[in-house]
Chain A
């Protein structure tokens, strides 16, 4: 434990309103602390530069998974275990279940939260590609009120996001979709469990008679933040699924992603695997027809 603990504050506000008042009253002074699975690792390593945190772990307003006819809405404090246990999740949002199941081990899944994962903004996070493929929207709340943003517009750079210092991620909502259509998720990590991804790919597609009516492609670990490969989608949308369109899509993907060399993997490997997974996804789609 490398940090000088006495210098750190972790205070527990009474409720969400009190939390937002603190954030508004001292902008930039306080950061939210949810399950701690990212922040505590930094603390241990002596690398947690921010010192004042608000404990939001128990805030009732941020808990729970609700549904209505249009959306399934998850509170920001939904853990991966909560995701896996919600009865309809596997049927309606299987990619999110896959992501939750492949995040760390059971202990991490019990404490890691969706809101924390999004706000931590690791380029290698496992759930964001699924959320992006599902057109997730985030509710950001502050003392001034709530606003909804499409998750695909949330990140703008490495650890840069559309979240003001007085705002909290409150809820994540997923539009309910017509059933049918192809869904694909693959996380390629350093080992079969407890791994940070080298490439993470999520895709959904709506195919009619070999024509790609609609398609969503999202990736992590190949750019500064998890993103929707919009250009690659554009190359495919409206096309007939086949060798030619797959190849064109792979080429576009190579231009659209920016994989790096790091201690886990290489840029060449990430590029190649991203292209392979795209091909596998599209081949899966055409196989179903």
Chain B
């Protein structure tokens, strides 16, 4: 398979949302939320945006505390990580004011429990004090759960709901394969595997089968015959 980044519909929507937040005036709220099921390319899109925008991409964990987040943030900003919470907080604020950077927090679901909400509140403080864009990304329930916290939710001005993978995305993805994937296989993928992660595995198995059997084009019949769908369980 060719190694190429596909600009999926979901990625484009997310990228546009970040750009739109960046263009807002300093005084306007600039928080965003992306949510959706697994396998829709959320994390991969975030990685790409982080690389392009020089953004700080943090992945929330169940073990996160205010202190650990401050240390992580200070490290990413390249400021001293020693000292107590208020000192680290001040350093991070100063750094973000002098050199603003977009902050992206992935897997926000880990922070939506009442015991962890204080960490989210800290991000709100960063947002209010520095005016930088903070974009949260989580699973589909994160939108519903965040709604309960009205003062927080009111600052979120961009919402991106990750949609099931579009036909065009699957077509572009299949184009990266070393073998020609026929339209009936693409249709089958859309119906049965609307998830790029699964399709990638299928294509890799299919390529192996095709290279062993000297096949250059794959239609649905060949795909079924290859057993790529079932892997080793065939």
The answer to whether A and B come from one shared complex is no
Chain A residues proximal to chain B, CB less than 8 Å: none
Chain B residues proximal to chain A, CB less than 8 Å: none
